[in-house]
Structure formats: structure tokens, C-alpha cells
Amino acid sequence: MQTRFRRVKVSKGFRRSMRKKVPLDFWIKRDSAEPRRKSVRARLSALTERRDGEQSEEMMAEDRFARGLKNRRQIAITVVGRRTGRRITLPVWFVSQEDMLWLLPVHGSKTQWYRNLLANPTVTIKIEKERRTFRASALKGASSVRQVVRRFRDKYAPETITRLYPGPLNVAVKVKLQQVGF
């Protein structure tokens, strides 16, 4: 049986006087016969394996994204500037239902991120560490915008929407939650 060694670095938190006495790199003897514990990643992958043994990491990421939508009041969206072409990230309130997401511009059609979406309808949504890119479409019809405003009032309280959305509430944005392929 062969003995293996593992290289370990001394942390920078050591006092300066200790650094002089202890070399920065030293070896620790490790017996290879000692059983290893499964890593967290290995345990998670074992839980997310399909019956046929195929990894379902995509499914796990989709679940995290869907749970994030259910548990959040606001998300970060990234749009591309219509003149500069730069990416602009900002927080917005949203309403989600099944595979749809609705956004309501604070100042209606005068809101800058809405104008950027009209020029380039690609929107990236970030929830925690998960990022997804979708295609957005503008809703300009009075009845469809009214339905979105009603959904916002149900989620965030009518007086809050009246106070924080001075209007005019003449447009809304619909995002279908199907990822854009690259």
C-alpha cells in the first residue's frame, strides 16, 4: 500500500511571526486506506439522477429558477441600450403565472428600459445566481394592459401600485418563459 500526500497551504491569517517559523507550503501525510466521504456535489448528483442514470442538472436549474420566481417580489432584468448597445441591469417588479411573466413600466411608454426593449426584445432575467435569456413582447392594447395592472394590484396591493406607478399605465411587457437559443 502506497502512502499519498496532499499539499496544503498555510492561510494568510497566520501572524507574521508565525509565517517566518512555519514554511508557507508543507506536507501532511494521508493514509490512502482511510474511507473518503462523498462530496456534497456527488450527493446532490445522486439525488438528481434520473432512473436511467442520466444527469438532470438542467432540471435542477429550472426548478431553482421557477422557485425563485415564486418567492421573489422583484427581479433583475438586463436589456441592451438602443443607442449605446451596452447592457443595462435594473430591478423591476413582476407578476408570473405558469410560463408567462409580466412587467409593468413605471412611466408607461416613456420608461427607458421599455424603449430599449422595443428596439431589442431580448431580456435577461437574473434570480440569485441563475440567469436566463428570453424574448419579450410589448402589450399596447387597453384591455390587456388593464389585466396586467389588475394582476400587479393583486400581488403588490392597490395603494402601493397607485403610489409607485405614477403612469401613464398605457403599456406592459409580456415575457414568455422559453429560453432563447444561441
* 13-26 pLDDT tens trace: 554 444 444 444 44
DSSP assignment letter at 106: T
* 35-94 pLDDT tens trace: 455 555 555 555 555 545 554 566 666 678 888 888 889 999 999 999 999 999 999 999
- Please indicate, yes or no, whether the overall pTM of this predicted structure exceeds 0.75: no
Domains of the chain: 1-33 (no CATH), 65-176 (2.30.110.10)
Coil/strand/helix, residue 156: helix
Alpha carbons 127 and 68: distance in angstroms, whole number:
6
Residue 37 is placed in which grid cell? Answer: 466521504
Residue 172 is placed in which grid cell? Answer: 406592459
Q: What are the φ/ψ torsions at residue 180 (nearest 5 degrees)?
A: -80, 130
- Residue for cell digits 415564486? 70
Nearest partner of 149 among 110, 95, 107, judged by Cα = 95
* 120-132 pLDDT tens trace: 999 999 988 889 9
